[in-house]
Amino acid sequence: MTRHRLLPLLPPLAALLVYGQSLGNGFVLWDDHELITENPIVRSLSRSAVRAAFTSYDPELYVPLTTLTFQAEHALFGFRPFFFHLTNLVLHGVASLLVFLVLRMLLSAGRRPAPDGHRKPASGSEGTVEIAALLCALLFAVHPLNAEAVAWASARKDVLSGALALVSLFLYLRFREGGSRAAFRGSFAALLLSLLAKPTAMVLPFVFLLLHWREGTSPKGKALKEALPFFFLSSVFLAIGFFGKAENIQSLTLLQTALLSAKSTVLSTSLFLFPRFSLLFLQATPVALRSAEFFLPLFLLLAVTVAVRWSLRRTRDVAFGLGIAALFLLPSFANFSKAGAVYVTSDRYMYLAQVGFLFLLGILLMRLLHSSRTVRGITAAAVSTVLIIAGWGAWRRSLLWHDSETLFTAALARNPASAELRNNMGILREEDGDLEGARGRYEDALRVRPSFAPALYGLGKLAQATGDGERALALYREATEADPRFLAAYNALGSLLQDRGNLDGAIAAFRGALEVKPNFAQTRINLADAYGKKGMYREGLQEYMRVMEFNPEFREEILRKVPQIEDVNL
């Protein structure tokens, strides 16, 4: 059967059909402000801003290529959310196309070598492989699990890194198929770009070794030599990524991380099989082996391991598919601890891991499509039903990301004990002018999680707005003590102290903020102002000049304040 040239376009078209309405979404109060609209690095595409993107974490991940895409979009279109969502959708469409191409190659590859040294032929004709790969790619394109990665602007790093990782995998398969050195170099370059978008793809070299193992060749000698440049690249980004995640990783014991990893693996797999919406999966109970919610996942994973070992007597495909899923899920195990809370997983962590499960589904579909006409009819009906239900679910879920109010209302219904969601609802109430409603939400967040820094900061703003400066100062200080990396509390504390004439305290607070985020322009301007009021003109001028170097968009503002600054030689 001749491959139809238009087949690869069906998954991207399906993605457009399902997620097209997400182009009307706005930015939401769930990292979009911190990472995009209020990120000073994003506001400029100058040499210094690009350098800042490549020399900083945002806030704990090293994602310079992702930041660079935000910079380019802002330079071209400003902060118009349509274009940010359009980029995400295009990237997901490209990823869907690549899933088809990768699965087509994997499903058509030979199996374990026969005793005579020749590969066994792939089960199924070329046409069967094509149909199985297409159906699996269509499921990837419309799976509700991907709504978070596609419809949320800040999830750019996941779709960008994922698409580039799939490019790397596809080109490596081409290299293995024909020995093309251009494909090898292209695979290496794509992996580099994927790691610059998000370090998740650092596990890809192990996937390459799995490919050799599946083919029946021992992953040593030539195979290891081929993979060595990829391993070196991944090890560099592993070291870079560790520095950003060290505090989160060290906040949990090794046993707690292992237990959460088991629960995360089982939960993430269940979300692929039975999707359900939840903005976050909070771990509300202690992490302990004696708890059934951790013991049972360990037992289940042990049972799966035994079953996989038994399956090796007949095929390596089961172990291969589950191995890919496990490897791509592995980097997410560094994300359990965040800002004093513990989270089990997120939908977007499964973006690449799905490839392993889709491969197994493809194997199953090939066998079913080679059965009787009745079985083929039942299979076609079942797959069509699944795709329709999945597409409908993804369409509905992407609408939840339309605005902050819609998102948080739906999320709170599933996570009523979330301090983050209660606090964010408070911010929305404050923006609407409902100060009492905001106060209630902030206090609700503190009842759920005492000493929650964002809620303390929110109450501090309300106290300051109503003229209670002393209480505001106390709340801001409490917020910085609760979370020494909470930038907004330092800035608010410094500004209030400066307004009250406590310049030494203001300078100390602004310096604390800069330890958290050195390139935050407004903090440096505030610090420069405080230096000027204290008579420390040289220090103030140095801060102004640093702002103009890294954030040229503030140049006019600074020149209005200090018109002679360009004539100063420090």
pLDDT by residue (tens digit) across 199-222?
A: 999 999 999 999 988 887 766 667
Helical H runs in 277-372? Answer: 292-311, 317-329, 354-369
pLDDT band at 236 (very low <50, low <70, confident <90, very high): very high
Amino acid at position 323, single letter: G
pLDDT by residue (tens digit) across 184-193?
A: 999 999 999 9
Q: Whole-number mean pLDDT of the chain?
A: 88
pLDDT by residue (tens digit) across 89-124?
A: 999 999 999 999 999 999 987 544 433 333 444 445
Which H or E element spans position 338? strand 337-338
> Which candidate, 411, 410, 405, 443, places its Cα nearest to that of 425?
405
Share of the chain above pLDDT 90, in %: 60
Is residue 126 within 8 Å of residue 356, measured between CB atoms? no
CB atoms near residue 561 (< 10 Å): 14
DSSP 3-state of 353: coil
Which H or E element spans position 240? helix 222-250
pLDDT by residue (tens digit) across 519-550?
A: 777 888 889 888 888 888 888 888 888 877 76
pLDDT by residue (tens digit) across 262-302?
A: 999 999 999 999 998 887 788 878 888 888 999 999 999 99
Cα within 13 Å of Cα(323), Cβ side = 19
Question: Which whole-number Å values give the CA distances from 232 to 61, 408, 454, in the listed order?
Answer: 20, 42, 40
Distance of CA 493 to the CA centre of its chain: 31
DSSP string, 39-107: -TTTT--SHHHHHHHHTS-SSSS--HHHHHHHHHHHHHH-S-HHHHHHHHHHHHHHHHHHHHHHHHHHH
Q: Is 116 exposed, middle or buried (0-12, 13-18, 19+ CB in 10 A)?
A: exposed
Encoded tokens for 177: 């198929």
Predicted model pTM:
0.86
Rounded Cα distance between 147 and 499, Å, is 45
